[in-house]
Structure 1
Amino acid sequence: MPAPMKRSGRRSLQVTSAAFVCLASAASLALTAPAAVAAPGPSTSPSANPSASPSVTPPARMSIVGGARLGQPGTQVDLANGAPVLPKDLTARSWIVADAESGEVLAAHNAHWRLPPASTLKMLFADTVLPRFPKTTQHKVTAEDLAGMGEGSSLVGIKEGETYTVHDLWLGVFLRSGNDAVHVLSSMNGGVADTVKQMNAHAEELQALDTTAVSPDGYDMPGQVSSAYDLTLIARSGMQKKDFREYCSTVRAKFPGETKKDDKTGKTTRGTFEIQNTNRLLAGDYDITQYQGIAGVKNGNTTNAGATFTGVAERNGKVLLVTVMNPQKPQHNQVYKETAALLDWGFRAAGKARPVGQLVPPKSAAQPGAGSATAAADAAGEAGGAGNASGAPVAAAASEDGGSGMGVALGIAGGALALLAGAAFLVNRRWPLPDLVRRRH
């Protein structure tokens, strides 16, 4: 994990299971189902200022989006007979374990506590902006594109006057958490201010109501907050997009270097250099191994946020999302170690721990006919769909820059009909995750 930026500084509500149904449309890649009702109804924190700086301890009452228990401070879990106990020595201020397909929250700790998100906020940036530009679009970088970056920002190494493809820029965002790449893409998108407005509007659409974006890159700013619950919602939405899945799961890639002129021949050449993903569960490190089944998503580290991470992994056909925010144990790679422990627990507890809440669908999913329209909008920003009418999985594209780890897509089980608080909604469960870590390196 890169060093922090200097300045940036009991019983549960039951989700009634229902019959599996087939989703035939290949365009229904987005996490939008035709009809949805969040239960209980969305409710923000009782704080008068939703973007106020977080306190040392979680509020006594927080948002109840996704279920009443998720608004309570402390650990929420409902272990049935045979369910494993939670891992010991979890020190994060907030965390959540959720089934990425059904949306069931298996366990949580201060899930709606509004905390600085660090670069995990780049997931919201990507989910908002990524569909707007084809990956082959080229852009020549100006000084204005790179203006306004915070001191100590993480950088991929973009140079003024050089031309990059959108594909290059997104690799810089996901692999190196490059604030320079974020600012260039924001400039292409109408500027930082407009991009932040779009991000906040998208967060509201996703019902990520704990989230207030102030900077597009996650650099510490007054009032910039999110929550473990919201980051998990955002990751779930992003992972519906083929390009998002490709970028966040790429372990390493070649990145364009600086154009240089040979004084003797007068010829100009432009080399490349290798960049590696800073997600240590994906790339590994000296004190942590690559997590088997990992497929993304995004890490972060700033002075105010500490270490943050949202990860998605698959094991035996089960796909889990885990978000961990600000572990208090000052050990190297602690955020990844706690995430790995929670993933291990989640895979063992699946089918045994009763859900304590639910990841809600986007607002538009509750509107008649919104499912197909939103799916088409998301599909327009991708290189391909999630599957075909027969339900067969489609292979995920390999990274054009030679990023390792991209292979044949994993076909995730078809759509499922879930009932929540008496209201039915259809959830798209076709996730062709990259089949990148069936093995340990």
Structure 2
Amino acid sequence: MRLPISPQVRRALVALATTVVAAATAAGPAVASGSPAKPPRATPGAPGGEAKKEPPAAMSQAGGAQLGKPGDQLGADAPALPPDLSALSWVVADADSGQVLGARNAHWPLPPASTLKMLFADTVLPAVPHDASRKVSDEDLKGMGDGSSAVGIVPGQTYQAADLWRGVFLRSGNDAVHVLAAMNGGVDKTVADMQKRADALGAKDTHVLSPDGYDAPGQVSSAYDLTLFLRAGLKNKDFKEYCGTASADFPGGPNTKGKPFGISNTNRLLSGVDGVAKYPGLIGGKNGYTTNAGNTLAEAAQRDGHTILVTVMNPQENKRDKVYTEMRQLLDWGFTAAGKAKPVGTLDPTPRATGYQAGPSAETASGSADSGIGALGWTGIGAAVIVVGGAGVLVLTRRRKASPRSTRGI
């Protein structure tokens, strides 16, 4: 039943709504057609963004209390770190034991770029039959962000699941991701499935809004969580094969007269192209880049009976090869530290199973969500005002426009 609202009350509520919306508009980013303004909460270190910020004072302590501390975290007998590491966040871990050998701001929630595709693959690979195929429709490719990386999917053509996965892992193709998401029941279902998988793995810093890692306000992960995704994915033989494939043929379309064309892996530490030497013993992983995330990279390598996992997020020196330089240095460091350095935490976030006592979560300590949205500022959802009076309830909400989309991403 609707309650009548007097003209006086209605005018008061409209005035309040106008004030709130005006204030929210002033606080939110202005977006103009073709030329979005810089958001006030740009990702630290992003090209064109604000100056580097410090990590949140309160971060998750999943995997051990020391992992929730800001700055470099090393245990007793750890070798000296490589000089000039500029990444905002990194984690080095032993894949077999789950021990975290060293870290910097392990639980800092940051935009993940295409490294989030590891969670997509870990979630969807078991759900889509290996021998499945799909005739691609225009609808399958809707919702891809401007400037998305693509492998070259052609609507109207039929693709095998294996080819689509090679498109995901080698070319970081958002078009291949969207087709596989359609085969999994759609983008919305896939995003929900990915979030459930992240939660099941104990990846509490991760908030999923897109299946491909394309920049979205509030979409974040952490070096700790991305390392969890890589470790979990490598337990799937198909994941391991795809992420370790340096080159392959991809089905052609009209532009190639139906002939397959060659694709090489954008992970240059694996493919060894453009002046980046291959890393000895590299199993594989996933790289990413967007304007907001900067460069991100997760890798696994094997040597002398040890499998080392390393995730690097957003090196501050904006050189194209810097993420690979720092990854190489940290992999070398990890092999030196394995079996010698006292661990600073574990990749198993369950205290009962590891003996590590996880401290209070970031949510308990700071009142912000586990996803870390409070630390970065979730600009995707604007202010909500609830006015309660004898005449009824008025809820006013405002969605801010998305922060500037990446003009280039992998």
* Alignment match, 1:74: 71
Residue among 157, 166, 190 paired with 2:185:
190
Contact 2:315 2:323 in 1 (8 A): yes
* Alignment match, 2:285: 297
Amino acid at match of 1:342: L
Residue among 241, 249, 255 paired with 1:246:
241
* Alignment match, 1:350: 338
Counterpart Cα distance in 2 of 1:96 and 1:278: 22
Contact 2:346 2:356 in 1 (8 A): no
* Alignment match, 2:124: 129
Contact 2:64 2:357 in 1 (8 A): no
Q: Do structure 1's residue 64 and structure 2's residue 52 form an aligned pair?
A: no
Contact 1:162 1:259 in 2 (8 A): no
Tell me the SS of whatever aligns to 1:101: coil
Q: What do the CA deviations read for 1:141-166 (whole angstroms, capped 9, x no partner)?
A: 00000111000000000000000000
Contact 1:105 1:359 in 2 (8 A): yes
Gaps of 5+ in 1: 1-5, 10-51, 262-268, 367-417, 424-441
Counterpart Cα distance in 2 of 1:421 and 1:306: 32
Counterpart Cα distance in 1 of 2:305 and 2:356: 27
Tell me the SS of whatever aligns to 1:73: coil
Residue among 318, 327, 344 paired with 2:306:
318
Please say which structure displays the higher CA radius of gyration.
2
User: Closer, same or farther in 2 for the Cα pair 1:95/1:356, shift >3 Å?
Assistant: same
Q: CA deviation at 1:139?
A: 0.6
* Structure with higher helix content: 2
Q: What do the CA deviations read for 1:108-128 (whole angstroms, capped 9, x no partner)?
A: 000000000000000000000
Counterpart Cα distance in 1 of 2:133 and 2:349: 34
Q: CA deviation at 1:419?
A: 4.8
Alignment of 1:150-165 (within 5 A): 150-165=145-160
* Alignment match, 2:135: 140
User: Closer, same or farther in 2 for the Cα pair 1:225/1:419, shift >3 Å?
Assistant: closer
Contact 2:65 2:357 in 1 (8 A): no
Counterpart Cα distance in 2 of 1:256 and 1:124: 25
Q: What do the CA deviations read for 1:163-214 (whole angstroms, capped 9, x no partner)?
A: 0000000000000000000000111111111110110011000000000010
Counterpart Cα distance in 2 of 1:361 and 1:135: 31
Q: CA deviation at 1:259?
A: 4.9
Q: What do the CA deviations read for 1:49-71 (whole angstroms, capped 9, x no partner)?
A: xxx98662201110000000100
Q: What do the CA deviations read for 1:255-282 (whole angstroms, capped 9, x no partner)?
A: 0001589xxxxxxx62100000011110
Alignment of 1:345-384 (within 5 A): 345-360=333-348
Residue among 199, 219, 222 paired with 1:227:
222
Amino acid at match of 2:72: T
Contact 1:112 1:228 in 2 (8 A): yes
Contact 2:150 2:175 in 1 (8 A): yes
Q: What do the CA deviations read for 1:219-253 (whole angstroms, capped 9, x no partner)?
A: 00000000000000011100000000010000100
Tell me the SS of whatever aligns to 1:225: coil
Contact 2:63 2:345 in 1 (8 A): yes
Q: Do structure 1's residue 88 and structure 2's residue 23 form an aligned pair?
A: no
Counterpart Cα distance in 2 of 1:198 and 1:190: 10
The number of residues matched between the two structures is: 313
* Alignment match, 1:420: 355
Length-normalised TM-score, structure 2: 0.73
Tell me the SS of whatever aligns to 1:167: helix
Contact 1:71 1:111 in 2 (8 A): yes
Amino acid at match of 1:300: G
Contact 2:208 2:219 in 1 (8 A): yes
Amino acid at match of 2:250: F
Residue among 264, 287, 294 paired with 1:306:
294
User: Closer, same or farther in 2 for the Cα pair 1:316/1:161, shift >3 Å?
Assistant: same
Superposed CA RMSD? 2.2
Tell me the SS of whatever aligns to 1:246: helix
Length-normalised TM-score, structure 1: 0.68
Contact 1:53 1:223 in 2 (8 A): no
* Alignment match, 1:264: none
Contact 1:98 1:321 in 2 (8 A): yes
Q: CA deviation at 1:362?
A: 7.6
Tell me the SS of whatever aligns to 2:308: strand
